[in-house]
Chains A and B, each alone.
Chain A
């Protein structure tokens, strides 16, 4: 447990520069007007594919569904073997073993949501057990949710301590520790000031990534929210020397959207973040739209949904 008092953390978070909503949204909209063509579009599409955490998070996820998703990750476009693979497959904790086995030594990571995803409404021991279970099953990455109830009640110390404890639960005695992504669920935090504070809190507590959303709450990822988070990781590295990744998740479905996010990464955080190590998309349907656009650039003609495989 940290020696930081809730008062100290709260004072620090509330001392951060505020966010002007109008200015933030107009900056995000302005970045969205960049026109990305030809060679730069091709680069962006391949980069975006490589940044996807291909996700299925349903109560109905069967072993067959998970294997099918893994097969899609291994061969995203059977018509074009030069297509890059997504960064990871993201599943519930009890499906980690199946994904691990299906992906083998392909280099594609297995990410598991944990800590009573998506609500996070469980006691800390339950959250830690959930995390350890996924880590033990071979997850390379853990996507935890913060306790939004505690955050909105001003109980920042609880949020901080939970993140720190989950981070400890990501350790492995043998092999690399699981990377920790901290889901802020910005759709429940609502204000940009809260998004900035939650980002700093998650980074202070040791999160390797900050992630917008579970995908179960609307709105999920938005450009302005991601802008705030990119500014946060950029400033955090200047402050501490530690680089933290960003993952917008939920609601990003088209190549056009994905390219807007990459432009924002490029111009706000900088090109150091333009790799799957530091930026991810949490998405499922996005991959197929990127593949369609990729086919269009390669062949010069639109193919259509019959020419990309469903997982």
Chain B
């Protein structure tokens, strides 16, 4: 029995009303629920609600509604007016923050601490940020200077993953609306509820019907949506495998696409790093959101002289992580999102052990139901092991060593991915050199997993193309017409 045993501090779920069934959100209204499938709470495997599987006809209706809204209202609305709607949505997200946080935690399994302090506030921040851009697009350098006006593409199909359901929605919807596009969005099969609550927010904000449409369903819905001829642009976040299929499907069409795919980020610790903060950065890098983060610092590259010290400090720190009920305000590590994902994590960790890695995890007691995996550290990992090359997407850290900065760069870049990287050193010049050498879309220096709407995010190589956030993120949502006029 610990001396200071924290009593349960559960967040109340009474703030959120979950309906037994949900229809699709098309043209400003919810359709009648049909073709229902359950969405469950991964922490206890109970069914939270049943949502509708959108079929090809629903996709037609949603794309048509988006087209009408684009041509009739949204595409011709002034930026200042669009901005007002975005500001309104942002404020509503803040006002209903606790509701969104609770619902996200129930549907996804991530700790309430994270939905409360990260997912929801950062989602609101994305709407605020892009609301500000809506009437300033002409000055964003998106089109050649001299009278050229950036123009929206039209109807955008957006398919988002289950790891940050509301936040990924915000990353996609906010820039699309700010630039004058209309949206058909498909949330992930296992985490549709916050997107459906967001649909309510769109109604509450009096957003014109059809500007945002939300279709729930599995991969078939996503496929029908991206292949729909009425779609002008696709924005996808998810696996590299599905990203490839999308790229194939749209080849030869006029559709534009941005893809934000997998990652296998190196978190590089030099022997002069501020060690206590580096350990925190490792923990945040791989155990934030149960490691189900595309930019997670899943490969720890530690300079050989401090390997043992870093590992032992990390183990001591992990023993203090609080694992379990995601609704408890003191929980640091919650549930894995689905059984399928849990199986994938287990398979890869078993493969790592079979290939010679040593697995370590602190003692954890889990509830009898739900999907759980302990925070795991794999030491003795070599560059050839599957756990060093394949994305695990779970709370599993692979530890490798390096000798020189050059070797660190070579190992970090030795992957088909290139989404993010972390560098820990007290030497400023080395940070700049490393950032220059690393083939990754985001390089964090003495920090990890920091997200800000002003900062572009995206990958190299198989981590995808295009950027989201910042001025660069707007580029994907506009084209431009050059107008020549006699003076």
User: Smallest Cβ distance from B332 to chain A, in angstroms?
Assistant: 9
- Compute how far the CA of A20 lies from the CA of B446 in the bound complex, rounded to whole angstroms: 8
User: Hey, which chain A residues are within 8 Å of B274, CB to CB?
Assistant: 17-20, 23-24
- A39 vs B9: C-alpha distance in the bound complex, in angstroms? 11
Complexed CA–CA distance, A35 and B112 (Å): 12
B200 at the interface (CB under 8 A from A): no
B280 at the interface (CB under 8 A from A): yes
Pick the residue among A27, A231, A266 that contacts B4 (CB under 8 A).
A266
Say whether, besides A33-B117, A35-B330, A37-B9, A271 and B276 are in contact (CB < 8 Å): no
Residue of A nearest to B273 (CB): A17
Q: Are A22 and B446 in contact (CB under 8 A)?
A: yes
Could you say which residues of chain B place their CB within 8 Å of the CB of A40? 4-7
**Cβ-based interface call for A152 (8 A):** no
Asked whether any CB of chain B lies closer than 8 Å to the CB of A41, the reply is: yes
A21 to chain B, nearest CB (A): 9
Contacts of B276 in A (CB 8 A): 17, 19, 23-24, 27, 231
Closest to B313 in A: A235
Q: B36 at interface (Cβ–Cβ under 8 A)?
A: no
Q: Is the interface of B mostly helix, strand, loop or mixed?
A: loop
Instruction: Give chain A residues whose Cβ lies under 8 Å from the Cβ of B3.
Output: 266, 271, 274
| Chain B residue nearest in CB terms to A26 | B280
Contacts of A274 in B (CB 8 A): 3-4
When distances are taken between beta carbons in the complex, the residues of chain A under 8 Å from B330 are: 34-35
Q: Which residues of B contact A20 (CB under 8 A)?
A: 274, 277, 426, 446
B447 at interface by CB-CB < 8 Å: yes
Chain B residues whose CB sits within 8 angstroms of the CB of A43 once the complex forms? 4-5
* Of B7, B281, B426, B446, most A-chain CB atoms within 10 Å: B7
Asked if A23 meets B447 with Cβ closer than 8 Å, knowing A18-B426, A267-B320, the reply is: yes
Which partner residue on chain B sits nearest A33 by CB separation? B113
A44 contacts the other chain (Cβ, under 8 Å)? yes
* Contact present for B281 and A34 (CB under 8 Å): no
Structural contact, A271 and B4, CB atoms closer than 8 A: yes
Asked if A122 is an interface residue, CB under 8 A from chain B, the answer is no
- Chain A interface mostly helix, strand, loop or mixed? helix
Task: Determine the residue in chain B with the shortest Cβ distance to A263.
Answer: B4
B9: chain A residues at CB < 8 Å are 35-37
Output the nearest chain B residue to A15 by Cβ-Cβ distance.
B272
Do the beta carbons of A271 and B7 come within 8 Å of each other? no
Q: How far is the CA of A43 from the CA of B5 in the complex (A)?
A: 9
Q: Number of A residues contacting the other chain (C-beta, 8 Å)?
A: 28
Residue of A nearest to B309 (CB): A17
Count, chain B residues at interface, CB 8 A? 24
Which one of B7, B117, B277, B329 lies within 8 Å of A27 (CB-CB)?
Answer: B277
CA gap between A43 and B2 in the complex, in Å: 12
- Are the CB atoms of B446 and A36 closer together than 8 Å? no
A38 beta carbon closer than 8 Å to chain B: yes
Q: Which residues of A contact B117 (CB under 8 A)?
A: 33
- For the complex, what is the distance from the CA of A26 to the CA of B113, rounded to whole Å? 14
> Considering the chains assembled together, what is the distance between the CA atoms of A267 and B319 in angstroms?
9
Q: Is B275 an interface residue (CB 8 A)?
A: yes
Interface centre among B6, B9, B276, B329 (most CB of A within 10 A): B276
Q: How far is the CA of A37 from the CA of B329 in the complex (A)?
A: 11
Whether B275 contacts A36 by the Cβ 8 Å rule is no
Residues of B within 8 A of A36 (CB): 6-7, 9
| Distance, CA A262 to CA B426, complexed state (A) | 30
- Report the bound CA distance from A8 to B393 in whole Å: 47
Q: Could you tell me the distance between the alpha carbons of A188 and B3 in the complex, rounded to whole angstroms?
A: 35
From residue A181, how far is it (CB to closest CB) to chain B in Å?
A: 23
B96 to chain A, nearest CB (A): 21
| Complex Cα gap A35–B6 (Å) | 8
Interface string of B1-43 (1 = CB under 8 A from A): 0111111110000000000000000000000000000000000
| Chain B nearest Cβ from A305, distance in angstroms | 28
The answer to whether A38 and B275 have CB atoms under 8 Å apart is no
The residues of B that contact A17 with a CB separation of less than 8 Å are 273-276
* Most chain B CB neighbours (cut-off 10 Å) among A19, A35, A36, A37: A35
Residues of chain A with a CB closer than 8 A to B280's CB: 23, 26-27
Chain B positions within 8 Å of A23 at CB level: 274, 276-277, 280-281, 446-447
Cβ of A47: which chain B residues have Cβ within 8 Å of it?
4
Binding site for A on B (CB under 8 A): 2-9, 113, 117, 272-277, 280-281, 320, 329-330, 426, 446-447
Query: 9 pairs across A/B with beta carbons < 8 Å?
Result: A18-B426, A19-B274, A19-B277, A20-B274, A20-B426, A23-B281, A24-B274, A34-B330, A40-B5
Task: List 3 A-B pairs, minimum CB-CB distance, nearest first.
Answer: A23-B277, A35-B9, A20-B274
Known contacts A17-B273, A40-B7; 6 further A-B pairs (Cβ under 8 A): A18-B272, A19-B276, A23-B280, A34-B6, A36-B6, A274-B4
